Amino acid sequence: MAYAVKLDVYEGPLDLLLQLVSKERVDVADISISTVTDEYLKATSALGEVDLETASSFLVLAATLLELKSLKLLPQKSAPDPDLKMLLEERDWLLHRLVAYSSFKAAATRLSEEFDRGAGYHSREAELPEELIPEAPDIFRNISVGQIAAAAARALGPRQAPTVNTSHLTPLTVSLDQMVREMSRRLSRASRSSFRDLCADLQKPEVVVSFLALLELYRAESVELEQSQPFDTITVTWRQPPPRGSQ
Amino acid sequence: MKAEDDVLRALEAVLFIADEPLPTADLALLFELPAGEVEALLGILADRCQAHGRGVVLRRVAGGWRLATHPDTAPYLERFVGEHRAGRLTQAALETLAIVAYRQPISRIQLAEIRGVSCDAVMRTLLSRGMVKEVGRDQGPGQAILYGTTTYFLERLGLDSVDQLPPLAEFMPDAESVERMESGLGPGL
Amino acid sequence: MKAEDDVLRALEAVLFIADEPLPTADLALLFELPAGEVEALLGILADRCQAHGRGVVLRRVAGGWRLATHPDTAPYLERFVGEHRAGRLTQAALETLAIVAYRQPISRIQLAEIRGVSCDAVMRTLLSRGMVKEVGRDQGPGQAILYGTTTYFLERLGLDSVDQLPPLAEFMPDAESVERMESGLGPGL
């Protein structure tokens, strides 16, 4: 059973995960990775340009989620193997982070209430009376060109929140399912390819989806993934079509 | 009619916050009262400042009303300003200086249009600190005074000329709009 | 007593032109009076503000004393209060601010680890709003800049110091929620 998450604002993968696991009787096995991905993409594609850092932090979480999900689907072993043990440690670590993050989130809500409460008090922020200016220390002693430029940009830049113009962007129409099919099609033809070549013609958000698609295919044992060291080329080798009905 | 004490309290608060003298007409508009009544209330406020031995007085100056420190307190203020008041550049002063730097020559009216508030107090600070100066007059009707930055301003920033100021594009979009984009807030939120 | 009235008057004038809360010690130094006496005078001043139905109140915030407008007058002040003061912080900014408040001094990397996303844009906003500031450098390699909250942050919250923030433990999710999160993340050993 798949759970949909409604994201008003994408605040990062930890926030997303917190929202997911805080719901009643939801566990990782029930969370559809494609739903999460689609929600993430919906939330971020409205922004026009996807920030690479946001995207990569999402990927790390999606991969962890995927791993935990596969763990959940495995039969319980009496003696955990080392891999399983590591995964469980990872889970505890993730839980620890979630608890900490959740505390700060609650503290932020309190801060906001306190700010509202204090909003009625206004202090003076006036310039010094003219006759006192000669007495005052040099207020420009730390001034820098960057400060001037930033202040000018703030004052002369767009007044309201900029309307993000997405008209020049190809609307993101590809879902994870579609991307799994597309990747299968490309790989069944090429048989072996680097990840970079596989998505050379894709836009950044689609690359994110294609990476998740490959993880799904890997889980279904349809592909082999090789990477000799971090940041090195990822080589994808085609093995067999995914079984029908796989995500 | 509004309770007199409530209006007096609000009147004092408004004068306390304002950076510029406030004309009677503006105050009348704000409190939705006839100008004559506002003047009477201002009179009461001025009397109270005196009667209660307060450190501030209400003064009628060119352009309106403003709260100012009592003249007898000047020696303490000079000492305080020299020794204690953190010589901090206000946000308003930094912003105004930045606009003059990038849009010179510019008039006070144009400055006020960009910032959305009057810049007179801030301009006094910048003028008296020698960071900006009058550089000419507008050709149009009214012949508004135009301002620009000084050689001293360039010296302080270590620049040879204003042409060396970095292009603004590098600093846009500003921090908050980037944040809005990153956190996914749409326009109007 | 005459002398007392003079100091009270000067005290109010100094607080009027100050741009941040003034600690008792600073005022004692300025008026060359024992701290206890200054506190007593500040108490009298605060009482007078109340008794005379004034538009301003004297508050003890951020380790010092600060004149501020009476909250009842807030509706009239909107026009005069700068945009950067009135604007609300986004959820992301509030979360980041909460982490800085409880974990200061803290680097941007540590912040990003806790929130799971980069906080650079949010931090720029908080810096320009005067809510956080640089407070030092990490001793380790890289010497990351460390951040903390400002006097202005405390002033806005009406707190005397960060020690008055409610303990973070108060905001920990309860046992039931943690259990739910735990079971949500998958099976245990």
Summarize pLDDT for B1-56 with one digit per residue, the tens: 458 889 999 999 999 998 788 999 999 999 999 999 999 999 999 999 999 889 99
Give the span between the Cα atoms of A54 and B120, in whole angstroms.
Answer: 44
Q: What pLDDT is stored for residue B189 in this prediction?
A: 27
Q: From the candidates B59, B176, B177, B185, which should be mutated to test the interface with C, based on the most C CB atoms within 10 A?
A: B176
Q: Is the pLDDT of residue C110 over 80?
A: yes
Over the stretch A126-142, which tens digit does the pLDDT of each residue have?
777 777 777 777 777 77
More confident residue, B162 or B175: B162
Is the predicted pLDDT of residue A185 greater than 60, yes or no? Answer: yes
The mean pLDDT of chain A is 71
Residue C23 has pLDDT above 50, yes or no: yes
> CB distance B30–C76 less than 8 Å?
yes
pLDDT at residue B76 greater than cutoff 80: yes
B189/A161 touch (CB, cutoff 8 Å), yes or no:
yes
Rounded CA gap, B97 and A228, in Å? 55
By DSSP bridging, strand B132-137 and strand B106-107 are unpaired
Q: A111-123: per-residue pLDDT in tens?
A: 999 888 887 788 8
Which residues, other chains included, contact A20 with Cβ-Cβ below 8 Å and sequence gap of 6+?
Answer: A3, A5, A26, A31, A36, C184
d(CA C54, CA C57): 7
What lies within 8 Å, CB to CB, of B84 at 6+ separation is: C22, C26, C30
Q: Name the band, by pLDDT with cuts 50, 70 and 90, for residue B184.
A: very low
Distance CA C77, CA C86 (A): 11
Among partner residues C10, C55, C91, which is closest to B16 by beta-carbon distance? C55
Residues of C in contact with A68 (CB under 8 A): 185-186
To the nearest whole angstrom, how far is the Cα of B81 from the nearest Cα of chain A?
5
SS (H, E, C) chain C: CHHHHHHHHHHHHHHHHCCCCECHHHHHHHHCCCHHHHHHHHHHHHHHHHHCCCCEEEEEECCEEEEEECHHHHHHHHHHCCHHHHCCCCHHHHHHHHHHHHHCCEEHHHHHHHHCCCCHHHHHHHHHCCCEEEEEECCCCCCCEEEEECHHHHHHHCCCCHHHCCCHHHHCCCHHHHHHHHHHCCCCC
**A21, A26, A72, A84, C173 from C182: Cα distances, Å:** 8, 11, 13, 16, 12
Residue C189, pLDDT score: 41
Q: Chain B contacts of A127, Cβ < 8 Å?
A: 19, 90, 92-93, 121-122, 124-125
Question: Which is more confident, A70 or A16?
Answer: A16
User: A53: pLDDT confidence band, cut at 50, 70 and 90?
Assistant: low
Q: What is the pLDDT of residue A2?
A: 38
Confidence label for B182 from pLDDT (cuts 50, 70 and 90): very low
pLDDT band for A51, please (50, 70, 90 cuts): low
B16 CB near a chain C CB, below 8 Å?
yes
Query: Is A133 in contact with B170 (Cβ distance < 8 A)?
Result: no
Query: What backbone torsions phi and psi does residue C18 show, to the nearest 5 degrees?
Result: -65, 150
Residue C9 to residue B179, Cβ atoms within 8 A:
no
In 10 A of CB C101, how many CB atoms? Answer: 24
Q: Is A202 on the interface with C (CB under 8 A)?
A: no
DSSP β-bridge partners for residue B134: B147
Which residues from chain C sit within 8 angstroms of residue A21, using beta carbons? 180-181, 184-185
Mean local confidence (pLDDT), C130-153: 89
- The confidence band for C181, taking pLDDT boundaries of 50, 70 and 90, is confident
CA distance B101 to B108: 13
Residue written as token pair 């805080």: A22
Rounded to whole angstroms, what are the CA distances from A156 to A205, B165, B170, C117?
A: 32, 15, 13, 29
Which chain B residue is nearest to residue C19, measuring alpha carbons?
B85
Q: Which residues contact C46 (CB under 8 A, 6 or more apart)?
A: C57, C58
Kindly state whether A119 is in contact with chain B, defined as any CB-CB distance less than 8 angstroms: no
Q: Distance between CA B94 and CA A158 in Å, rounded?
A: 18
Q: Residue C82: pLDDT band by 50, 70, 90 thresholds? A: low
At B107, the pLDDT band (50, 70, 90 cuts) reads very high
Burial-class residue C139 by CB neighbours within 10 Å (0-12, 13-18, 19+): exposed
Q: Tally C-beta pairs within 8 A across A and B.
A: 159
Q: Which residues in chain A have Cβ-Cβ distances shorter than 8 Å to C128?
A: 150, 154
- Summarize the confidence of residues A195-216 as an average pLDDT: 79
User: Given A130, A140, A163, which is nearest B156 (Cβ)?
Assistant: A140
pLDDT at A4 over 60: no
How far B61 CA sits from the closest chain C CA (Å)?
19
Q: Does A159 touch chain C (CB under 8 A)?
A: no
pLDDT digits 0-9 by tens, B41-51: 999 999 999 99
Q: Do A54 and C118 touch (CB under 8 A)?
A: yes
Q: Tell me: pLDDT of B148 over 90.
A: yes
pLDDT of residue B19: 79
Task: Indicate the pLDDT class of residue A1, thresholds 50, 70 and 90.
Answer: very low
CA dist B155 to A102, A150, B132, B151, Å? 50, 19, 13, 6
pLDDT exceeds cutoff 70 at A3 = no
The verdict on a CB contact (< 8 Å) between B81 and C17 is: yes
Q: Indicate if the pLDDT at residue A164 is higher than 60.
A: no
N-to-C CA span, chain A: 12
* CB spacing of C92 vs B183 below 8 angstroms: yes
- Which has more confidence, A157 or C137? C137
Structure-block tokens of residue A187: 């790989």
What CA–CA distance (Å, rounded) separates C16 from A125?
A: 10
pLDDT at C148: 95
Query: What mean pLDDT do residues C160-164 have?
Result: 92
Predicted pLDDT at B2: 54
Portion 5-34 of A in contact with C at CB < 8 A: 9, 11-15, 18, 20-24, 26-29
Lowest mean pLDDT of A51-65, B10-24, B150-164, name the range.
A51-65
- Predicted confidence at residue B49, as pLDDT, reads 92
Query: pLDDT tier at A214 (50, 70, 90 boundaries)?
Result: confident
**H/E/C letters for each residue in A164-222?**
CCCCCCCCCCCCHHHHHHHHHHHHHHHCEEEHHHHCCCCCHHHHHHHHHHHHHHHHCCC
Residues 6+ apart with CB under 8 A from C45: C8, C11, C12, C15, C58
**Residue B132: which of B140, B144, B123 has the closest Cα?**
B123
Lowest model confidence (mean pLDDT) among A1-5, C57-61, C80-84:
A1-5
Phi, psi of C98, deg, nearest 5: -60, -40
Q: What is the pLDDT of residue A119?
A: 78
Rounded to an integer, the average pLDDT of C133-143 is 86
Distance CA C96, CA B179 (A): 12
What does the pLDDT read at residue A49? Answer: 52
Alpha helices in A22-157 (DSSP H): 33-45, 52-73, 82-118, 145-156
Q: Return the higher-pLDDT residue of C138 and A163.
A: C138
**Mean of the per-residue pLDDT values of chain B:** 84
For residues B173 and A160, give the distance between their C-alpha atoms in angstroms, rounded to a whole number.
11
More confident residue, B128 or C8: C8
B-chain residues near C124 (CB < 8 A):
175-176, 178-179
A83, pLDDT greater than 60 = yes
Which amino acid appears at position C16 of this protein? F
Rounded-to-integer distance, Cα C82 and Cα B16, Å: 14
Question: Which residues of chain B neighbour A16 with C-beta distances below 8 Å?
Answer: none
Amino acid identity of residue A240, one-letter, is Q
Q: Which residues, listed in sequence order, are joined to residue C148 by a DSSP beta bridge?
A: C133
Of B176, B182, B185, the CB nearest to A54: B182
- Mutate one of A130, A156, A165 to test the B interface: name it (highest B CB count within 10 A): A156
- DSSP SS3 for A43: helix
SS3 (DSSP) at B146: strand
The verdict on a CB contact (< 8 Å) between C122 and B14 is no
> What pTM was estimated for this model as a whole?
0.65
Contact A103 C184 (CB under 8 A): no
Lowest mean pLDDT, pick from A38-42, A78-82, A88-92, B135-139: A78-82
Q: Is the CB of residue B59 less than 8 Å from the CB of residue B51?
A: no
| Cα four-point dihedral sign C186, C187, C188, C189 | negative
Range among A56-60, B173-177, C51-55 rated most confident: C51-55
- Pick the range with the lowest mean pLDDT from A163-172, B35-44, C10-19: A163-172
Task: Check pLDDT > 80 for residue A64.
Answer: no
Two structure tokens written together for B80: 């305080």
CB–CB of A160 and B189 under 8 A? no
* pLDDT at res. B183: 46
Q: How far is CA C125 from the centre of its chain?
A: 16
In chain A, which residue's Cα lies nearest the Cα of B18? A126
Contact: A133, B82; criterion CB under 8 Å: no
For residue B174, what pLDDT is reported? 47
- Relative to beta strand B64-69, strand B132-137 is unpaired
What is the complex's ipTM, to 2 decimals? 0.71
Average pLDDT value for residue range A34-48: 62
Task: Please give the pLDDT value at position A169.
Answer: 40
